[in-house]
Amino acid sequence: MADTQNSNREKKIKHFRLALIDDRTHKQLWTGHFTRTRLVLVAFSFTVVLCAVIYSTIAFTPIRTFIPGYPDARSKRAAIQNAIRVDSLENVILRWELYSENLKRVMEGDRTINLDSIINIRKLPVEQDRDLSEINRQDSLLRQHVKEEEQFDISARERRDLPIEGLLFFTPLKGVISQGYDPIVHPYIDITAASGSVVKAILDGTVIFDAWNDDTGYTIQIQHEGDIVSIYKHNEKLLKKTGDKVTAGAPIALIGDTGKISTGDHLHFELWYKGETVDPTKHINF
């Protein structure tokens, strides 16, 4: 009995045959021979190919949108819109912070912060150090101009003590106001006009600043009587230089599209009265 069991163990089945036979005629249609090792390899290869086909179908066809949690076109569009809203809210918060800081400085009698410069620095963090040094340099030049006001014959003893409401301003540029005045977000106005239009001085005065700036292009500033300053930015060409005296309506520049933050031919116009910006449209007919 033991010998029989030992012989059966030695004769283990190693080869198999799979056949297809017609049930009625018993005719053999197909026969396949295989071993255990070959069966495992075939099954493994079939599984790998099947997984690759399923992955390719899901990854490279619209079928992937049926997977729960996969972002479709609508959710992607919503994500982009939300990102834009978040960026806008960050800018609004930044402007409010700058407004609060400026209000604090005004109450303490300190110099206010230039909103345009700080916002541009926030948008370009890589160039922050260079921009800060440029701002400091321009601030020093402006302080020097203020100290040298007497050489331009702009003395408080010679000024007419008239409020800004009693002055007659000359229109700097006849055109369309593309963006109006906002004391917090946009404390100036933008005026669009045909390329090559002449920019003119709003009052008699003296040019206290003319220079090129990477952000605002060719810029010119004029000191007028009554503690009034007018600023003209994004010009194509300046027709006056620092120290020149101008009369109301005198050409001082040509409208342009200079500077990185400009989006077309227009005049960026600022009107300052006693150290604060005012709405030019309340005093000038555009």
Residues 198 and 258 in one domain: yes
Is the residue at 158 inside a domain?
Answer: no
Radius of gyration of the chain (CA): 39
Residues 53 and 78 in one domain: no
Residues 263 and 175 in one domain: yes
Residues 33 and 86 in one domain: no
Residues 191 and 95 in one domain: no
Sign of CA dihedral 154, 158, 163, 168: negative
Domain of 23 in residue numbering reads as 2-62
- 124 burial (CB, 10 Å; 0-12 / 13-18 / 19+) is middle
pLDDT digit string, tens, across residues 36-55: 888 888 889 999 999 998 88
- List the pLDDT tens digit at each of the 286 positions of the chain: 555 555 555 556 677 787 888 888 888 888 877 788 888 888 899 999 999 988 888 777 777 766 766 666 677 677 778 888 887 788 778 778 877 777 777 777 777 666 555 555 555 544 444 566 777 777 777 777 666 655 544 444 444 456 888 888 999 999 999 999 999 989 999 999 998 899 999 999 999 999 999 999 999 999 999 899 999 999 999 999 999 999 999 999 999 999 999 888 999 999 999 999 999 999 998 8
- Please give the C-alpha separations between residue 136 and each of 127, 129, 133, 210, in angstroms, as whole numbers: 14, 11, 5, 17
Residues 91 and 181 in one domain: no
- Can you give the CATH number for the domain in which 224 is found? 2.70.70.10
Single pTM value for the model: 0.46
Domain count, the chain: 3
SS3 177: strand
Residues 79 and 57 in one domain: no
Residues 204 and 185 in one domain: yes
pLDDT digit string, tens, across residues 196-238: 899 999 999 999 999 999 999 999 999 999 899 999 999 999 9
Residues 17 and 81 in one domain: no
